[in-house]
Amino acid sequence: MSTPHISASETQIAPVVLMPGDPLRAKMIAETYLENVIQFNDVRNMFGYTGTYKGKAISVMGSGMGMPSIGIYSYELFKMYDVDTIIRIGSCGAYTDTLDLYDVILVTGSYSESTYASVQSGTKQPDILYPSQEVNDALETAAKDLKIPLKKGIIHSSDVFYRQDGDHFKKLYAEKNVMAVEMESFALFHNAQVTGKKAACLLTVSDSLVTHEATTAEERQNAFTQMMEVALSQAI
């Protein structure tokens, strides 16, 4: 089987997929952590790989940026390739000074102003969607075993990266209690819901809208190892 966006056969993708935004981060994860790796996708340079981690098959694939992109890939993985679980592993911007660069966040809910869920399902959807509690519990257990601290909370999943109002995050933090921002988890959680599958999201703080600290693109690609190790350990 193949789709317009994924060139894999039905047997080439594992039941659990780790999904960073950057396809080069997917490549790095596969080359660093997995054994017996095969590349199952390079359509549009959205790289996907399957290998084994401590003897168990696992896949990793880029999602691209934003809800339309992860919406396509995650739906095809859930629906056409019968993937059971997708764990997004991405970067985020902090809305509060209680978060530091490189802190790892386990997302407990994704708030969004996006119409993605309502348009996709054809019915009005809530503005906050939730991950699989089963997967979140497993991620939390894995983090404790690895002695990796997690911050837990609701995050903002935005359709817009560059907003005209540079102080919008202050209102969102105050009114919605969202601790950080990214652009994909809301669509991922919705697709898991409508297909009857499981999804979760781990994020690493890459920059702060409060302190204006930021990591480089190279640091984001290579230094977010704790988040990756938690996700991989849960998968086994």
Active-site option among 42, 97, 103, 207: 207
**Nearest alpha-carbon partner for 51 in 16, 83, 81, 20:** 16
Residue 216's pLDDT is 87
Residue type present at position 87? I
Contacts of 170 (CB under 8 A, 6+ apart): 95
Q: How many CA atoms lie within 13 A of 130 on its CB side?
A: 6
Measuring CA to CA, which residue among 101, 104, 105, 103 is closest to residue 213?
Answer: 101
Q: Residue 1 domain-assigned?
A: no
Q: Is residue 162 part of a domain?
A: yes
Q: Report the chain's mean pLDDT, rounded to a whole number.
A: 95
Q: How confident is the model at residue 235 (pLDDT cuts 50, 70, 90)?
A: confident
Mean local confidence (pLDDT), 3-13: 94
Instruction: Give the pairing type, strands 104-111 and 198-208.
Output: antiparallel
Per the listing, tokens 């969607």 go with 129
Residue 62 falls inside a structural domain: yes
Give the CATH number for residue 102.
Answer: 3.40.50.1580
Alpha helices (runs of H) in 64-206, residue ranges in sequence order: 67-79, 116-121, 133-146, 168-176, 185-195
Could you tell me the pLDDT band of residue 186, with boundaries at 50, 70 and 90? Answer: very high
With respect to residue 223, please indicate whether it lies within any of the assigned structural domains: yes
Enclosing domain of residue 111: 10-235
Is 137 a residue of the active site?
Answer: no
| CA neighbor of 192 nearest in space, from 145, 150, 135 | 135
Q: Per the structure, how many domains does the chain have?
A: 1
pLDDT in tens, 132-165: 999 999 999 999 999 999 999 999 999 999 999 8
Q: Is the pLDDT of residue 222 over 80?
A: no
Confidence (pTM): 0.96
Average pLDDT over residues 224-232: 94
> Is residue 3 included in any domain, yes or no?
no
Residue 5, domain member (yes or no): no
Query: Residue 188 region, left (φ>0) first, then alpha (ψ -120 to 50), else beta?
Result: alpha
Query: Does residue 2 form part of some domain?
Result: no
Residue 67 lies in a domain: yes
